[in-house]
Structure 1
C-alpha cells in the first residue's frame, strides 16, 4: 500500500509543487481517514502575504521587489519556515513549501506550525550592500506578520546567517529599547555572535546523513564503500556528503546550478568544497572529474542519491534512469508523485523530505530555545540532541511503515497529520 497509489494520475503534463503537495495531502488524508472538518482546514493556508516594496540600488535607481510570506497552519505552535531568494518563487511554490513545513514540524514533534516565504529575485545580480537593503526593507514591510512567538523565519535557498542577522536587527530596531533583547529569536540560523546556534550551518545536512545512517542500520548495510551522488552542493549537500565520506562512503557525482561532474573513483568532498570557494561556488572544472550532461546526472551509477537542490527534480522523465537503491530527499519536494511511484515500483526506498531534511528545523528549535531561555550550548551537545531527536522520529516512521505496510512517506504523513488532527480534536474549533 502506497500513498502515491491512492492518487489518481491525471494527464502527463508536468505538475507544479503545490499540485504535488496537494496530491500527497489528499492521499494521506484518505489514508488516515482524516476528520472531514479538519481536512478542510488543513487543505488551505491560514494567511498569504504578497508584498511589493521599493529599494534604492547602488546606482541610485529604485527597483521594485516582490516578496512572499505564507502561513499554513499554527495548531501546534508558532509558524516556522525559511525564506528563500530565487527567481522561480511564486505564490503556489511558497504555499507548497509552507504546507510541507507543517508536516515536517509535526512529524518531528516540535511545538511549531508551518510557514515559508522569500523574494522573487536572483541574488547573484546584486551587491552585498544591495542585498542588505533589500532584506531590511522586506523585513520592515513584513512588520508584525513575523515575531518570536508568532512566525519565525530561517535561512533557505540563497539566504544565510548574514541574512538572518539583518532581519533580526531590523525587527528588533522597531521595538522599544527595553523590548529588543526579548525579540532576538524572531529568526533562527543567525551568526554565532548574534545569538546563533553552534552547528546550525550543518544541522540539515547532518540530519540527511543521520537518516541514511539509520536506514543502513535497519537494513544491516555498511556505508563504507557505498557510492553516492549529490544534487546541490550548498550547506545541505556539502554537509551530508562530508559526514557520509567520514563513514567511508564515496561521492561519485555532483550537480549544481552551473553543471555536473563525476568520477567513479570518487570525488573528495572537502577538496571540492575548497575548490568551489575560488570558483564562484561552482563545481564545474574540478580536477580529476569528468563533465556530465545535465540530463544524465540521475543516471550516474551509485547506491545512494541525494537530491538537495530545488523541488520537482526527479520526474517521470528521469525516475527510470536512477540506479540508486536509496533516495534521500535533502531538498523539499524534489520528487513528483508520479516519479515516486516509478521508484517505489522498482523497489527503491525513499526517505521523504519531511523526515530526511528535518535536522534544520530541529536545530532551529534548539536555537530558539537557547535564545528564549538565555542558555548557551556547545557543538557536541547540540549534535547529540539532533541525533537523538532524528533517531526517535526515524524509528517511529520505520515502525509505522512496517506495521501498516506503508512506504516511508506514507508512514511519515500518517504520523504528522494524525498529531495535528489530535490537537484540533482536543482543543475544538473556535467558536
Structure 2
C-alpha cells in the first residue's frame, strides 16, 4: 500500500493510501476464496505475465527534446491475445497499469471474449501539448513498444485522453514498420480506429451504451421504469456523454455533472445535447454551463439522485464519501471508481453496484467486433453492431444476476467468480507448461 506525506504543525506525517492494485487484489482474493480457486492457478493470476517500461525522446514544436515514459502491462493471455486500452494521464504508472491490466483480464473473460488482459499508457498531461506533438509522441511510443504489441498478440485501444485519432496514428506507425506484404493484414493491431481507417460504426458509443444497458437491465429486473429517474455523472467524456444520451432518450433526467474543471447541477434537469455542445466550445469543460448552478466539488456525490455513474478515474468513491451518496444504484462507467472501503459502506446501506468489469464492458465488446471485422475483411452497419452489443451485454448481465442470486452475494463478487472460473477451466484443460 502506498503512502502520502503531509506537513502538519511543522512535522511530516505519513499515512497509508489504498491504491488500485490493493483494491483489485482484495477483490480477486475474495472471489478466489469463494470458488476455492486452485492454489497454483491463484499464484499465476496474482501476478502479471509481462511488464514493459519504455523511455523515449520526442522533439517538441520549439525544437527542444522531451523524454517521456510509457508503460504496457500484459497480465494474462490464457484465453487469447492481450487486450486493453492506453491512457495519457499524469497518474499513469506501473502500479496503475498492473491493476487496470488485471481488471481487463476479468472483463474480457466475463464477456466471453477470446482475449486476455493488458493496459498501459504514457505519464503525460496531453492538454499541454499541440496536436502535432501528440502525434509524434504517439508514433514514437508505438515504435518503442515494437513487437510487444500485434494483432494476434496484444491489441491496444483508446482509454482516458486517447481517442480514434490516437489509434489511427498507432495503426499507421505499426503497419509502416511491417514488411510491405504484411501491412494491410495488420490493421487490427489496435481497435477504436476512425470509421474511415478500419474502425467500427458505433465503437465511439459502445462503452456508454453498455453502461446504459446495464442500468436498463437492472431496472427491468427490479420492475422499475427509467422514466423520471434522476442521474448524476462524474466525467462527461465519451463514456459519460453516451451513457447520459441514452438514459435521457429513455426518459431519465440528468441533474448533476462533474469533470476535472468543475461541478454543475440543475434539479430540473440538464439537457445532455446542450451540455455536450457547450463542452465542445469550452475546451471540454462543463464549468459555467448557463443552464445550471455551480456545485461545490466535495458535494457532488451528495446530490439527490436515483442513479450515480462514476465515469472518470479510479478511487473516486471512498469511505470519506460513500455514506453521503443518495443513489439507489451505482453504475461504474470508469475502471475501479469505488475502492474496497467505500464499497463495503455502500453495500451495507443496500445500494446496488453494477461493477466496472460488467458495466463498462461494452467498449471491449465493441473492440472485439472491430477486430473481427478487420480480420475477416467485413463491414458491419451501425444497427447490426448495436443489436450484437445489446445481446452480449444481456448475456453477461443475466449470468451475473443469476449467480448473485444463487450465491447470495453482491454483483462484483459474482462477476469475478464467473470470470475467474472461465480462466481456471482453461488452465485445467490445457495444463501448465512444462
TM-score (norm 1): 0.97
Pair 1:418 & 2:421 matched: yes
**1:291 — aligned with what?**
294
**1:56 — aligned with what?**
59
Matches within 5 A, 1:341-360: 341-360=344-363
**2:124 — aligned with what?**
121
Task: Tell me the SS of whatever aligns to 2:17.
Answer: coil
Which among 138, 145, 150 is matched to residue 147 of structure 1? Answer: 150
Pair 1:315 & 2:315 matched: no
Pair 1:47 & 2:50 matched: yes
**1:138 — aligned with what?**
141
**1:300 — aligned with what?**
303
Distance 1:364 1:107 in 2: 15
Matches within 5 A, 1:7-406: 13-406=16-409
Distance 1:256 1:389 in 2: 30
Superposition RMSD in Å: 0.8
Shift of 1:13: 3.7
**1:409 — aligned with what?**
412
Shift of 1:287: 1.1
Distance 1:425 1:385 in 2: 31
**2:6 — aligned with what?**
none
Q: Deviations over 1:390-422 (max 9, x none)?
A: 001100100000011011001100100000000
Task: Tell me the SS of whatever aligns to 1:66.
Answer: strand
Distance 2:198 2:117 in 1: 23
Task: Tell me the SS of whatever aligns to 1:339.
Answer: helix
Task: Tell me the SS of whatever aligns to 1:51.
Answer: strand
Distance 2:414 2:135 in 1: 42
Distance 2:224 2:241 in 1: 23
Shift of 1:12: 8.3
Q: Deviations over 1:1-20 (max 9, x none)?
A: xxxxxxxxxx9843001111
Q: Deviations over 1:299-352 (max 9, x none)?
A: 000000000000000000000000000000000000001100000000000000
How many residue pairs end up in the alignment? 421
Distance 2:432 2:337 in 1: 34
Distance 2:178 2:286 in 1: 43
Gaps of 5+ in 2: 1-13
TM-score (norm 2): 0.96
Shift of 1:213: 0.2
| Runs of 4+ off more than 2 Å | 11-14
Distance 2:268 2:164 in 1: 35
Distance 2:136 2:301 in 1: 39
Distance 2:242 2:225 in 1: 20
Distance 1:380 1:96 in 2: 34
Task: Tell me the SS of whatever aligns to 1:254.
Answer: strand
Distance 2:175 2:186 in 1: 6
Distance 2:91 2:75 in 1: 20
Shift of 1:68: 0.1
Distance 1:217 1:26 in 2: 31
Question: Taking structure 1 as reference, are residues 107 and 12 closer, same or farther at Cα in structure 2, changes over 3 Å only?
Answer: farther
**1:428 — aligned with what?**
431
Distance 1:244 1:13 in 2: 38
Question: Taking structure 1 as reference, are residues 12 and 248 closer, same or farther at Cα in structure 2, changes over 3 Å only?
Answer: farther
